[in-house]
Structure 1
Amino acid sequence: MEAFNTNASNILTVERSAPVPVLPEQDTPGGSIFLSSIDNVALTIMSTVYSFNRSDADVAGVIKQALSKVLVYYYPLAGRLAKNSQGKLIVDCQKKFAVPFVEASANCDIENLGDIQIMDSGTLGKLVYRDPTENMLEDGPLLTAQVTRFKCGSFTLGIALHHCMVDGMGAFQFVNSWAELARGKPLSIVPCHDRTILKPRVPPQISGPYDDFVHVSDVSNFMELYQREQMVFKSFHFDGEKLAILRKMATPDGHVMSSCSNFVALSALVWRSRSMALKMKPHQLSKLLLTVDIRPKLGTSMRDGYFGNAIIASSCLCTAGQLIDESISSTAGKIKEAIERVTEDYVRSSLDFMDTYQFDPYSVSSLLISSWLRLDYSCIDFGWGGPRQFGTGNPPPNLCMFMREDTENKKGIVVVLGLPLSAMNTFQELVQI
């Protein structure tokens, strides 16, 4: 278990240049880009940082020039959001907007940052440029970039990317394409901007799901707890040995089976432990939401290189009393079933529901587990080798992140979440294996 480094922000001082607008180096299509119902609910900014051990004197120039090249292929990122006649968001590509690019220098060596996998807001805010207009829905840029040089010669690339444009897998696809062009290589994946594959059906055909969109009321008065106590963010490391023990606990016959994955077993432990740590009342509904990649669910209708949000949140729903009283293997079984029921019909029904009804699937008593385990950043090379680290900021209160721990001596999963102080103290005891 580790608390996050809050000293790096005090050590780090960054001097920024004024943002320079970067346009695609060639003419790009005009018109507008349809955004799916999944895109329309992803109204947040994703801030990520890639750190690299070495560079040369013109690292910012190389990356800026490559950005101009990659925007020819990923031209919607140089657009702006707009609303169509139905009030749904689209991307306006008609006007030739630009991506703000910032050069910066740091007053220290990159080692002074420590582990950047999860950064405090102060450190993240110095390494990622956030445009003042970003909260103005139809004026803010969809992408910003900042290259920060450190005294040791290392550098970081900080990116702010609007979530309505793409999910984690698509974001990595974009950054890898950017890096390929910086090295003078052709794109290994050509992006597909046709999002109409995820259009709702007319008329809608809603056959389910139902639990996914059930509103969960706060009968345990969580809001008062969150307002009264300090929020604490911590990471919990599960190596291969701990994961093997956990899979055995989560398997009904006590034998580790391939059908119980590390993700399922760990999700069961985290969901139950969080519900207990928050002291949920027995009749309190507790919802677990699991992000599922729908790219493989839609077969040939989902084109290679799809650039957009292609994730559905499948759910498990029960009372806290039921969750806490049942075995961890029963909880794991619920989670496995929730993942397996995401078929093409399930996806289509979910899209129809989201387009038809107003809903808020997230509440403080719900837990959304976002898996970053398939996001392999090691291949992203702008010309000076792959990243030494990849990181982001603290998750919101109802989000838990599963991240890769893939170093020379460790192969495991890092669980990151935030809880009120008293609940975090209990949670860290419950997840000990």
Structure 2
Amino acid sequence: MAIDASSLSFVARRGEPQLVAPAGPTPRELKRLSDLDDQEGLRFYRSVVHFYRASPSKRHADPASVIRDALAATLVHYYPVAGRLRELAGRKLVVDCTAEGACFVAADADVALDQFGDTLCPPVPCAGELLCLPESNSDVVIDRPLLYVQVTRLRCGGFVLGIQMCHSLVDAPGGAQILQALCELAGGKEAPSVRPVWARELLDARDPPRPIYDHPEFEPAYEPAAAKNDKLRPGDTLVHRAFLFGPDEIASLRQQLPPQMRPRCSRFLLLSAFAWRCRTVALEYEPGDEARFMFAVNARGKLHGRPLPEGFYGNALTYGLARTTARELCSGPLGRAVELITAAVALAAADDYAQSSADALVLRGRPRFATARAYLVSDLTKSKLHEADLGWGMPVYGGPATTTLSTFHIPTAGGAITIPMSLPPRAMERFTACVRAGLDGASSRQGCSESAEFSDM
């Protein structure tokens, strides 16, 4: 019988917050962030949660104590994370390596792991009770802890690890690297298997900055005009649903592509194109409105002439953008949407794209992303977040705690991919109908198939 977690409610009993300092001496110094690090759009805390079942071998172990001790040991190696951000002239960010420590909270909740439902994905039920800070896409990051950790013990013997890390300091792969170190030290290793490397100067703008790409993802002039006819606004009431695409659904979509495109189209391209079209239909943009698809590209291993070293944990994600009119996207075949995203991926994956991004950010005064009418997706199918073993085995779920107007491709058992979606209620109805129709191979505005699995969150 499926477990519905939509009505789950509990209050975590939190202990007093503690500052966990490095377990040994660390250098006191100022470390400059890169020009990719200190862009305005990254000044917030990114959250992940990990759910663990009780382990017979750990019956007498307190997960909060184990993780707190491992955190102190990890901060010896990643000592900038124990420091504080400061602003220099021009709002340039540096890390003051003060060894003040990360914020740690131990908590207890009168709830069992199974009550969270059969399939965990963002937004996780009662996520606010499992994290130290309220979730926000804009936050004060100066002169406060850069890492917040909460361990919530459940009545079944399992527990939840909630982590919030300042995005100005690390990107998703960098955060996963720190989490890997935490797991290794919790398991008894003396040092992380991957040595952390700072090397932020490799992602600084040139002097003078000279971007060689247009970078419409950073386009401040675009926002005011686009916002007038955007269908999503801050404060809108949103419905959250999770859409599961298994091997059969993916195969059905692949058959809708031209034969020559099918073998070389990745699951990311296929599902991104399909969801982008369905979302644009659901939001009912005007035919001439520009629809945008944004995605993250990892620059590790791609910098021309000076690749990032193994162990680099700063922001090395750049953002690509595909764009077209709503008319072309929604009336054209699925293969056309795949082609648009493929071309954008090829551009953003160029060796010199990250350097150009840093140049554009500095030249334009570190603008935020242009988010109006944009569908932003992060691919987590290759992430190791779900492999974080702290000694209690692999997590039942490891990944983002919440969703906003962006979404994720999350790996699920059996080779499936889950895509969480947040939309206004009527738009969600249209999106669901469009997905079902598309999976049935019919017009995106007709028909209905029950082959997909959907769950309300």
TM surpasses 0.5? yes
What SS does structure 2 have at the residue aligned with 1:414? strand
- Given candidates 294, 300, 314, the residue that maps to 1:289 is 294
User: Matches of 1:330 and 1:323 in 2, distance apart?
Assistant: 8
Could you say which residue in structure 2 is the equivalent of 1:401?
A: 408
1:343 positional shift: 1.0
- 1:105 correspondence with 2:111: no
Could you say which residue in structure 2 is the equivalent of 1:392?
A: 400
Distance 1:4 1:194, change over 3 A: farther
Q: Is the 8 A contact 1:52 1:385 kept in 2?
A: yes
- Using the TM superposition, name which of 111-120 and 313-322 deviates more: 111-120
* Residue pairs, 1:158-169, within 5 angstroms: 158-169=162-173
- Using the TM superposition, name which of 259-268 and 292-301 deviates more: 292-301
CA displacement, residues 274-298 of structure 1 (integer Å, 9 cap, x when unaligned):
1111111112111111111111212
CA displacement, residues 161-190 of structure 1 (integer Å, 9 cap, x when unaligned):
111111111111111110100111241211
Q: Is the 8 A contact 2:21 2:100 kept in 1?
A: yes
Distance 1:136 1:108, change over 3 A: same
Distance 1:285 1:360, change over 3 A: farther
- Given candidates 127, 131, 149, the residue that maps to 2:130 is 127
- 1:326 correspondence with 2:332: yes
* Residue pairs, 1:367-386, within 5 angstroms: 367-386=375-394
Letter aligned with residue 75 of structure 1: Y
Could you say which residue in structure 2 is the equivalent of 1:148?
A: 152
What SS does structure 2 have at the residue aligned with 1:64? helix
Could you say which residue in structure 2 is the equivalent of 1:116?
A: 120
- 1:266 correspondence with 2:274: no
1:395 positional shift: 1.7
Could you say which residue in structure 1 is the equivalent of 2:371?
A: 363
Q: Is the 8 A contact 2:45 2:139 kept in 1?
A: no
Distance 1:374 1:226, change over 3 A: same
Q: Is the 8 A contact 2:281 2:330 kept in 1?
A: yes
What SS does structure 2 have at the residue aligned with 1:296? coil
User: Matches of 1:327 and 1:70 in 2, distance apart?
Assistant: 50
Letter aligned with residue 44 of structure 1: F
Letter aligned with residue 112 of structure 2: D
Could you say which residue in structure 1 is the equivalent of 2:250?
A: 243
1:200 positional shift: 0.6
Letter aligned with residue 364 of structure 2: Y
What SS does structure 1 have at the residue aligned with 2:431? helix
User: Matches of 1:87 and 1:14 in 2, distance apart?
Assistant: 37
Could you say which residue in structure 2 is the equivalent of 1:194?
A: 199
Letter aligned with residue 430 of structure 2: T
Letter aligned with residue 355 of structure 1: V
Could you say which residue in structure 2 is the equivalent of 1:205?
A: 210
Letter aligned with residue 18 of structure 2: V
Could you tell me which runs of 5 or more consecutive residues in structure 1 were left unpaired when the two chains were aligned: none
What SS does structure 2 have at the residue aligned with 1:318? strand
- 1:345 correspondence with 2:352: yes
User: Matches of 1:396 and 1:67 in 2, distance apart?
Assistant: 29
Distance 1:34 1:3, change over 3 A: farther
Letter aligned with residue 389 of structure 1: Y
What SS does structure 1 have at the residue aligned with 2:311? coil
Q: Is the 8 A contact 2:123 2:403 kept in 1?
A: no
- Using the TM superposition, name which of 136-145 and 174-183 deviates more: 136-145
User: Matches of 1:272 and 1:172 in 2, distance apart?
Assistant: 31
Distance 1:260 1:17, change over 3 A: same
Q: Is the 8 A contact 1:220 1:284 kept in 2?
A: no
Distance 1:363 1:255, change over 3 A: closer
Number of paired residues? 421
1:256 positional shift: 2.4
1:400 positional shift: 2.0
TM-score normalized by structure 1?
0.91
- Given candidates 424, 429, 445, the residue that maps to 1:420 is 424
Q: Is the 8 A contact 2:51 2:160 kept in 1?
A: yes
TM-score normalized by structure 2?
0.86
User: Matches of 1:48 and 1:351 in 2, distance apart?
Assistant: 27
User: Matches of 1:100 and 1:378 in 2, distance apart?
Assistant: 23
Distance 1:228 1:76, change over 3 A: closer
User: Matches of 2:376 and 2:188 in 1, distance apart?
Assistant: 39
Could you tell me which runs of 5 or more consecutive residues in structure 2 were left unpaired when the two chains were aligned: 440-457
User: Matches of 2:3 and 2:435 in 1, distance apart?
Assistant: 15
